[in-house]
Amino acid sequence: MPLITLDDGCNLSYRIDGPADAPPLVLSNSLGTAMAMWEPQMAALAQHYRVIRYDSRGHGASDAPAGPYTMERLGQDVLGLLDELDIYRFRFCGLSKGGMVGQWLGINAGQRLDCLVLANTAAYMGPAESWQGRMDLVAAQGMAAVTEAVIQRWFTPGFVAAQPDAVDRVRRLLLATKPQGYVGCCAAIRDMDQRPQLPAIAVPTLVIGGTQDPATPPEKAQELHANIKGSRLTLLDAAHLSNVEQADAFTAALTDFLA
């Protein structure tokens, strides 16, 4: 995968699929995954969009500089990548942490967005103590110490039983995440509260939630919808990684909105 070097020296891994003259669409991964999490959507999206995927700072093939990171830093990473690619306006879809980055972009760089998709995410994810405990555990024992607990939050038991291969692909992404990068991004989530700024988002926005999501429950999606004027809300029968668990329904909602 190609790399770009950001203003602070961090190398960010990215990939582009789809026609070069199609509208740009950026996909942003969740905490603990990488750009590969979007594979269930790629066949449909790459037909109509210039799809730009990237591994978030601290994830995948991107660098994992020492943290803590901030949501502003993660948002600036997106803008830095697109500046390097000479792309000004774009569509954006992020899930979980990626959706938090999307909120930051909507609040602080809305002039660059054509539209915004915020999936299985939240404007605030307290309390800080729970994040600090997870950070301390991963720093001391590595990603294996949290992976199975994360899988239980990300998928319903029925999906885990019925689709073990799909779950195992995600498990491998978690285990491959650099602990320092994971901890750095946890700090960005720990310190985030974007609730007061949500009304500043003025671009067309789709909020996607999971009715069985324990990590960012439906109330979090409803809060985003209520505070982003004119937004659309779609709830899927899924836990946290709804783009994997309900891949067809997620893709349909996404492509309908983007069109």
CATH number for 55: 3.40.50.1820
Beta bridge partners of 81: none
Q: Per the structure block, which two tokens stand in for 21?
A: 């003259």
* 41 alpha-carbon distance from chain centroid: 14
Residue found under tokens 């239980």: 152
Collapsed DSSP state (helix, strand, coil) of residue 178: coil
Find the domain containing 93 and state its range: 3-258
Which secondary structure element, helix H or strand E, spans residue 220, and what is its range?
A: helix 218-227
Position 90 scores a pLDDT of 98
Q: How many whole angstroms separate alpha carbon 211 and alpha carbon 209? A: 7
Asked whether the beta carbons of 255 and 91 are under 8 A apart, the reply is no
Q: How many residues does the chain have?
A: 259
Position 1 scores a pLDDT of 86
Q: Per the structure block, which two tokens stand in for 209?
A: 């939630």
Low-confidence spans in the chain with pLDDT less than 70: none
Number of structural domains, the chain?
1
Burial 191-229, CB ≥16 within 10 A → b, else e: ebebeeebeebebbbbbbbbebbebbbeebbebbbebbe
Q: How many whole angstroms separate alpha carbon 216 and alpha carbon 66? A: 27
